Amino acid sequence: MAIQLEHVSYTYDARSLLRQTALQDVNLELAEGLLTGIAGASGSGKSTLLQLLNGILLPTEGTVRVLDVTLIAGRKPPKLASLRRRVGLVFQFPEQQLFAATLEEDLIFGPLNFGASPEDAARRARKAVGQMGLDEALLSRHPLQLSGGQRRKAAIASVLAMDPDILVLDEPGATLDQVSRMELTQLLHRLCREEGKTVIIVTHRLDELLPYADLWMIMHEGRAVFQGTTRGLVDEARQLPGYGLSVPQPIQYWLELEEAYGLQTEEPCLSPSGLAERLTQLAFTEAKKARAYA
């Protein structure tokens, strides 16, 4: 098991009057090599959950197990460097994540801290820049000279350069255009399928991740109110408005198809091309039936 959370709660300012509970009694089990989507309304605890996976936050109750590292509430944590080398975390606001004088320095920061040689770190930086579709000429620029979208890509590249086993991304597509978002999702999907990386993505655009995600987790007011496969999410989709989320359009269309053609046992087609293809097949079958009757 790559990640296991047992009765985990997290409270900010736990020992003061200003305490604020962000997570309550969350249980989670994620196997290695899966792509998981996490969704929920703003303030539902998604970002807090992600920071627990990298040891940036420590649970105030319960136990977090990530790979071979165990973090138990109230106990002194072990050295976290090995955990952070293997769990790459992309924060919600990339402009606050870049702090070095040049983009290249920022990209090699992680690999150097985790023991890579300067040459290897520079090679990884260039590879990550290429993976994110950024021009190598940007490497000598100050991160604040980049556009919003470039900064977002640079922040993701800074984590890819560390080559972690688990990639945790907090709304990675928030400031990217549609094409870049699609390319990023496909890259993460490829890393998951071809290199066996575990990928966890927080997103508000469920429709874009639906065709790729193996598992889903829905958060509401600090609790994990749904955990399961994409099929399970489709079955529970009508509950989503109650959690402050709208039913994604692909699921809406699929539910209509399911009802019209009795497809409840089928694996849902949730990409536009998949839906179009299934619709064509159904129309063809209907037409064949109509001809047979005639």
Partner 1 sequence: MREKLLIGRLIDTGSPVHRLDPRAKMTAMLLYAVMVMAARSWPALLCLTAFSVLIMILTRIPLRMYLKATRPLRVLMLFILIVQCLAVKGGSVLVAAGSWHLDSAGLAAGVYAVMRMGLLVSFTAMLTFTTSPGQLNQALEGMLRPFERAGIPAERLSLMTGIALRFIPAILDEAQTIMKAQASRGADLKELPWKGKARMLTALLVPVTVGAFRRAEDLTASMESRGYRIGAPRTRYRPLVWGQGETWFVGAFVLMCLVVIWIGFN
Contact set with partner 1 (CB under 8 A) = 12-13, 16-18, 51, 54, 56, 79-81, 84-85, 88-89, 91, 93, 95-101, 109-110, 113-114, 144, 158-159, 162
Residue bearing tokens 């992309």:
90
Of 121 and 206, nearer to partner 1 (C-beta) is 121
Q: Say if CB 89 and CB 76 are below 8 A apart.
A: no
Of 9 and 54, nearer to partner 1 (C-beta) is 54
CA gap 280, 102 in Å, rounded: 51
CA gap 90, 103 in Å, rounded: 16
- Name the residue among 226, 203, 204, 225 with its Cα closest to residue 216: 226
CA gap 65, 63 in Å, rounded: 7
Of 95 and 258, nearer to partner 1 (C-beta) is 95
Q: How far is the CB of 70 from partner 1 (least distance, A)?
A: 18
Q: How far is the CB of 58 from partner 1 (least distance, A)?
A: 11
Q: How far is the CB of 17 from partner 1 (least distance, A)?
A: 5
Q: How far is the CB of 47 from partner 1 (least distance, A)?
A: 11
Q: For the purposes of burial, counting CB atoms within 10 Å of the CB of 174, is it exposed (0-12), middle (13-18) or buried (19 or more)?
A: middle
SS3 letters for 192-212?
HHHHCCEEEEECCCHHHHCCC
Q: How far is the CB of 92 from partner 1 (least distance, A)?
A: 9
Amino acid at the residue 118:
P
CA gap 122, 108 in Å, rounded: 6
Q: How far is the CB of 107 from partner 1 (least distance, A)?
A: 10
Of 49 and 159, nearer to partner 1 (C-beta) is 159
Of 158 and 185, nearer to partner 1 (C-beta) is 158
Q: How far is the CB of 196 from partner 1 (least distance, A)?
A: 22
Of 24 and 92, nearer to partner 1 (C-beta) is 92
Of 141 and 205, nearer to partner 1 (C-beta) is 141
DSSP string, 196-256: --EEEEE-S-HHHHTTT-SEEEEEETTEEEEEEEHHHHHHTGGGGGGGT-PPPHHHHHHHH
